[in-house]
Structure 1
Amino acid sequence: MSLKLKFFNSFRLIFPSSYIELGVFLFFLTAYGILGSYIAINYTIIFDSRIPWDAYFSFDNKSIVMTGGSFERHPLAYYFFNWVRELAFLISDGKTDVTFRLTLAWFSNIAVSLSVIQVFKYLKNIIRLPLMFSLLLTFFFSIFSTTILLSFTPENFTYTLFLLCLYNHYAAIKLKKEEKTPALALAFAGITIGGLTVTNIVKAFIPLLFEKNLFRNWKKLGNVVVRVVFTCICFILLYLNRIDFKYKNIFNKTNEQYEKFSNVKSTPTWDMILSYFFGGNVLFSNFIVRDKHNMKGFHFKGLIMDVYSSWVPYIFIAVLLILISWSYFRNFKNKLVQVVMISFVFDIIIHCIMRFGLHTSYIYGGHFVFVYPLLLGWLFYAYRSSPKTLSFLFVITGILLVYHLATNNLMRMTEFFQFLNENYQ
């Protein structure tokens, strides 16, 4: 395949490649753009030079933009955010003013809008759902709390969401065509995805397990091992170069971070799992305003999520989990479904079983929240020949969407703006 054709195919993969895809992309680019632009122009919360972290929902806006985040969790993010920051400074003439905030917001807007279009492409082109169902599930995903927040937040999770959505779509295309993922493509996925959040590099390897006849052919298995080793070597060398080959710092910092983010006992574990991990990424819970400081004498107000205070959100999350579990078992023999679910289980192990960051797991949604619409899409597909079941699923999803949008997330966003009006004008 010529270099020109490869570039063209990559462009078609990443960006809208049909009029309906372009329409969906422009719709969300406009909707998120209005939201992010309004916040950037009227409030300082997207980037305030005095506040390195925790202004809202434990996002580290200023710290991430300026440094890419801690090297032990985000080893190569430093390089990526150097480009983001310098481009934003170029547009704002070197000032951290409204233009700087607006630029950062639009970078996030574009990344999240491209994530949404990747989900739509997967539903339409991989699962081959009818347009009505694809649009329903895409819109459902677009108003998740994580998707809304990341659409204007300059964070690692914003770009991780896009990269994971893109890679899942790409890997699904390869598996569907019974083709292997090329070594360079795998290395690029591992470096970019794992570079922004180190644990996510594992997700780049999951689709390889389902390549055709992998465990029946030693030559194919050896080829996979070579590609994985090549990716790991590239990643490790870049990682070590980032920290001047002082590898002991990785273990020291990792243990320190694990202790810091895994020993919170103020809330029952089951409630953190439901309200924060499974729920907070989809459905906003109650908000709490806390007094914070930047460790240099500046005090400010921070907004965090509490557990749900009503039985209704718990019912919502329970129904959603039942639907995706139903989808998984109904499509158990489908290798594309297995790829999606194994990726999700990996996050469940890290956050729910190992308890890393469980008390703030609502901010990790960029790592897995796209799983919900994809598994729902496969559930719709499984009953494509059963009109009654399909109608039932459509109605249930519609009810979840209406409650999701009108009753909860919209109301919570008004509370978010009230917080901004009181503290960040």
Structure 2
Amino acid sequence: MIEMQQSRPVFILFLHKFSEVSKFKTKFVDFIKLTFPSSGSELLIFLFFLLSYGYLGTYIALNYRIIFDDRIPWDAYFSFDNRSIVMTGGSFERHPLSYYFFNWMRIIALWVSDGKTDAIFRLVLAWFSNIAVSLSVLQVFKYLKNIISLPLTMSILLALFFGLFSTTMILSFTPENFTYTLFLLTLYNHYSAKQLKNEKKISVFAMAASGIAIGGITITNIVKVFIPVPFEKGLYRSWKKLGNATLRIAVTCICFVLLYLNRINFNYHNIFNKTSEQYEKFSNVHSTPLWDMVMSYFFGGNILFSNFIIRDKHNMKGFEFKGLIMDVYSSWIPYIFITALLLLVFWSYFKNFGNRMVQVLMISFLFDISIHCFLKFGLHTGYIYGGHFVFVYPLLLGWLLYSYRKSPACLSSFMLVIALLLVYLACNNIYRMSEFFWFLDLYYA
């Protein structure tokens, strides 16, 4: 009897430890199912874009040096900073923790290429980008199918629409912060929407990990990690739930700030000095009317390629090269395209105003609009920031279709409009990509 009483606590401790391991295993499996394909249709979507983007990126990596050239730190195409990002992760005031992420990526690429920054090195970088963007499209498809519960045909249509955006096409082979921000934001939005739909809170671990990863790559995006929290069910009816939410946000901020300060050896004065310099540098360009930069660069260029301009560039060390940037639209058709798309998006917002998940998407979108359109940060190159918000378009279109599910006539009309936009998008962007290859053949072969 005494022996049994002594062994009971050991047995209970074993059960407790086993329960913790089992719980961790369940959460890990759930994360894998959330991130990667978990059904036949999801696997087909992922493989389709992985192979499509993979072919594009492989061809560019093996035949051209534009993805990574040791002599060109920035601005070879569309103002991306490929080499600078791969080697340093970018400036600490905007990308505080991305150095660590790109450090291991560079190490792996150099290991595969036997220490050379050659075609194999570029190929590895391109495939990292390819996988990240293909997973981003998959997250959008999962959201449409599992959160909004759209029919398979509609989900595929909107996923294809998103996959043909200029942002997704270019980022699919571009080693940049935006590439991985796109993946992390689509993943987090899918996860937070799932939690809201199931009336669950976002765990402190998920919030802290997301805040460090998303905010670490681009500091302003950490705000988006907190946007879903105010929409958790019953938050304002219980002081306990409100306190718990506050604690989760505080823990995330503390972890992020400590890692950030450690990155710069706690010399926090540099943050304010550098941030002020960056704002002055990227917010005082007046070569194009404000309304046209908003329409052609911020809203338009991230989705629909405009015509290109070739500029003379140099690396400040004597090496001269050619850079490619986007111009404003030269035809009235793209303006109509963007206007029609924005009307559908905002129509969806007002139609689904009471939907918490729609509010999360729109507030996130308005945050980027405020930074780039009102504060004008980087608006003259607004077409490079799409990785922060373009996924909102197909998701809000999905909610629009869902809201008219009981009105066949309206639903068919919206489907027709989206199909027409898709056809024009495909024709325009494929044609513009042929011009991009002309540029590569001429200067980067």
For residues 216-235 of structure 1, the aligned pairs below 5 Å read 216-235=237-256
Matched to 2:85, the amino acid is: I
- Give the match for residue 322 of structure 1: 343
- Give the match for residue 338 of structure 1: 359
Could you report, residue by residue, the CA deviation over 1:188-228 in whole angstroms, capped at 9, with x for unpaired residues?
00000000000000000000010012122221111111111
For residues 379-390 of structure 1, the aligned pairs below 5 Å read 379-390=400-411
Match of 1:304, SS? strand
- 1:410 and 2:421 are equivalent in the alignment: no
Matched to 1:422, the amino acid is: L
For residues 262-411 of structure 1, the aligned pairs below 5 Å read 262-406=283-427, 408-411=428-431
- 1:198 and 2:219 are equivalent in the alignment: yes
Q: Using the alignment, how far apart are the partners of 2:211 and 2:232 within structure 1?
A: 18
Q: Using the alignment, how far apart are the partners of 2:209 and 2:382 within structure 1?
A: 27
Residue 175 of structure 1, CA deviation: 0.3
Matched to 1:141, the amino acid is: F
Count of paired positions: 424
The TM-score normalised by the length of structure 2 is 0.95
Instruction: Find 2:202's aligned residue among 176, 181, 190.
Output: 181
- Give the match for residue 155 of structure 1: 176
Q: Using the alignment, how far apart are the partners of 2:238 and 2:29 within structure 1?
A: 33
- Give the match for residue 72 of structure 1: 93
Match of 1:301, SS? strand
Q: Using the alignment, how far apart are the partners of 1:420 and 1:139 within structure 2?
A: 26
Could you report, residue by residue, the CA deviation over 1:152-194 in whole angstroms, capped at 9, with x for unpaired residues?
0000000000000000000000000110011111000000000
Q: Using the alignment, how far apart are the partners of 1:221 and 1:359 within structure 2?
A: 41
The TM-score normalised by the length of structure 1 is 0.99
Q: Which stretch of structure 1 is more off in the superposition, 220-229 or 122-131?
A: 220-229
Q: Using the alignment, how far apart are the partners of 2:433 and 2:307 within structure 1?
A: 11
Residue 260 of structure 1, CA deviation: 0.1
Q: Using the alignment, how far apart are the partners of 1:103 and 1:236 within structure 2?
A: 32
- Give the match for residue 191 of structure 2: 170
Q: Using the alignment, how far apart are the partners of 1:278 and 1:90 within structure 2?
A: 39
Q: Using the alignment, how far apart are the partners of 1:97 and 1:166 within structure 2?
A: 32
Q: Using the alignment, how far apart are the partners of 2:81 and 2:275 within structure 1?
A: 18
Could you report, residue by residue, the CA deviation over 1:325-367 in whole angstroms, capped at 9, with x for unpaired residues?
1000000000000000000000000000000000011000000
Q: Which runs of 4+ in 1 moved over 3 A?
A: none
- Give the match for residue 4 of structure 1: 25
- Give the match for residue 136 of structure 1: 157
- 1:85 and 2:79 are equivalent in the alignment: no
For residues 53-64 of structure 1, the aligned pairs below 5 Å read 53-64=74-85
Matched to 1:57, the amino acid is: F
Q: Using the alignment, how far apart are the partners of 1:312 and 1:102 within structure 2?
A: 36
Matched to 1:363, the amino acid is: I
Q: Using the alignment, how far apart are the partners of 2:225 and 2:381 within structure 1?
A: 25
- 1:424 and 2:433 are equivalent in the alignment: no
Match of 1:348, SS? helix
Percent identical across equivalent pairs?
71
Matched to 1:225, the amino acid is: T
- Give the match for residue 18 of structure 2: none
RMSD: 0.5
Match of 1:28, SS? helix
Q: Using the alignment, how far apart are the partners of 1:217 and 1:346 within structure 2?
A: 28
Q: Using the alignment, how far apart are the partners of 1:216 and 1:252 within structure 2?
A: 42
Q: Using the alignment, how far apart are the partners of 1:196 and 1:364 within structure 2?
A: 13
